[in-house]
Amino acid sequence: MTAGVPSPPLREDPLALPAPKWWGFYTIDGSPPQRRFVIRWGRILAAIFSVFVAFYLSAATALWGYYSIKRGIPGVEWIDVAVPPRFTRVKQAISAYYLAEAKKAWGKGDFLKAVVTAKAAIIKAPGNLEARLFLANCWREGGRVDQAIHTLREGIATNAADPALQGALITYCIATNHSADLLAILRTELPAKGIHLLDG
């Protein structure tokens, strides 16, 4: 190379490929050869799925912490919160907690709190027959027999086959001379659920 004479510029290789990315890379194919970018859809979908799983597990853990630690509801397991088909167990645990609180309020003579909390227990788990019977008894003790019978009749949807519910309905209706309600229960509402107490 002669002194004082500038060197010729380096020519860029037209076939040189940029460094690959985690989400895609360049390749050369075709005739004439052309540079083409290939997206790594598998890695992209795997990354999206990983982020979704991490977010879901974090949300499930936060919800579990709220129920079991902050509110102190016993019986709430993390697996029951994280797995949707098992979330019914969480509702049952919350319902049992509300029922226990309602009984405490009733024992202290706080009728309003007992009724409201027992209602909350039934809303969380409509099949909680113990909570339904307790609420019906609260209504009866408070002189609201119509509400007691209404509460029990709503339980037919979930507990029609339970002898305790059937017995409470019949007892309340007979004791308070609600014969029309009793006939509707025995002839229409229970038979609609496959329960025929009048047969035989």
Domain co-membership, 139 together with 190: yes
Q: Round the average pLDDT of the chain to a whole number and report it.
A: 88
User: Per the structure block, which two tokens stand in for 181?
Assistant: 């309600």
Residue 2: the pLDDT is 56
Q: How far is CA 71 from the centre of its chain?
A: 17
Inside any domain, residue 107: no
pLDDT tens per residue, range 10-45: 555 556 677 888 878 778 877 777 778 888 888 899
Domain co-membership, 90 together with 143: no
Average pLDDT over residues 155-159: 94
Domain co-membership, 143 together with 191: yes
Inside any domain, residue 149: yes
Rounded alpha-carbon distances, angstroms, from residue 41 to 10, 38, 53: 36, 9, 18
Domain co-membership, 91 together with 133: no
Average pLDDT over residues 65-72: 91
Q: Where is the domain boundary, 100, 117, 137?
A: 100
Average pLDDT over residues 101-124: 96
134: containing domain: 126-200
Domain co-membership, 175 together with 141: yes
Statement: residue 1 has pLDDT above 60: no
Collect contacts of 194-200 with beta carbons under 8 A, ≥24 apart: 194/160, 194/161, 195/160, 195/161, 195/166, 197/166
Inside any domain, residue 29: no
Inside any domain, residue 159: yes
Inside any domain, residue 60: yes
Domain co-membership, 138 together with 200: yes
Calculate what percentage of the chain has a pLDDT beyond 90.
70
Q: Where is the domain boundary, 58, 84, 100?
A: 100
Inside any domain, residue 151: yes
Residue 14: the pLDDT is 57
Inside any domain, residue 89: yes
Statement: residue 3 has pLDDT above 80: no
Taking the model in full, what pTM does it have? 0.76
Statement: residue 66 has pLDDT above 80: yes
Provide the pLDDT confidence category of residue 79 given band limits of 50, 70 and 90. very high
Residue 58: the pLDDT is 95
Q: Please tell me the least confidently modeled range out of 39-43, 62-66, 107-111.
A: 39-43
Statement: residue 4 has pLDDT above 80: no
Query: Do 142 and 112 touch, CB atoms closer than 8 A?
Result: no
Average pLDDT over residues 170-189: 92
Residue 82: the pLDDT is 92
Domain co-membership, 198 together with 141: yes
What domain count does the chain have?
2
Inside any domain, residue 34: no
Q: Where is the domain boundary, 66, 82, 100?
A: 100
